[in-house]
Structure 1
Amino acid sequence: MTQAPTRAQQLLGELAPKMVQLTDGVLFGDVWKREELSPRDRSLITVAVLAATYRPDQLNSHLRLALENGLSQEELVEALTHVAFYAGWPSGMGARGQLKAIIGEGTE
């Protein structure tokens, strides 16, 4: 049985095999598996950092992962509202717009 490609493999393909290896092996194979924080907590931190540093490409997939990891829509809205006051209104509003689009996909 063939294993489905990872998200890094989907995004980068053969373009950057070392980046795929590091993403799959170190980031998601080690860092995200550490027991000191739950996947839910890691998602909340990651979403906040990506929103605060205006990284919309990565934020999109991490908002989806955050929902999969148990964060509610309301919790993400609240976190992004909080980020807006500490990291800047444009970053918070941009991130909320991305979340709105993702949530809207599920209602169609």
Structure 2
Amino acid sequence: MTVAVLTAGGNTEQLGHHLGRAVENGVTREELIEAITHVTLYAGWPRGMSAMGVATQLFTDNK
């Protein structure tokens, strides 16, 4: 829920932390990417792609 709200609001500065916490709490990376993709359709492409950039960077760095 937090990831979706941060994505929709364009608040990417907080997103990295909450993506990491979501993974720690059992949400899969695939589920998070799906959530961001879904929100993008409603919140707009620029916000969604900004969020996807944060997720991609975080997940690439933490492989």
TM-score interval, normalised by the smaller of the two chains: over 0.9
**May I ask how many residue pairs the two structures share in their alignment?**
63
Structure 1 residue ranges without an equivalent (≥5): 1-44
User: What is the TM-score when the length of structure 1 is the normalising length?
Assistant: 0.56
> Alpha carbon RMSD of aligned pairs, Å?
0.7
Q: Specify the alignment match of 1:95 in structure 2.
A: 51
Q: Does residue 46 of structure 1 match 2:14?
A: no
Structure of larger gyration radius: 1
Question: Relative contact order (C-alpha < 8 Å, sep 6+): which is higher?
Answer: 2
4+ aligned runs moved over 2 Å, structure 1: none
Structure 2 residue ranges without an equivalent (≥5): none
Greater per-residue helix proportion: 2
Q: Deviations along 1:66-99, whole A, 9 cap, x unmatched?
A: 1111110110010000000010011111111101
Report the Cα offset of residue 57 of structure 1: 1.2
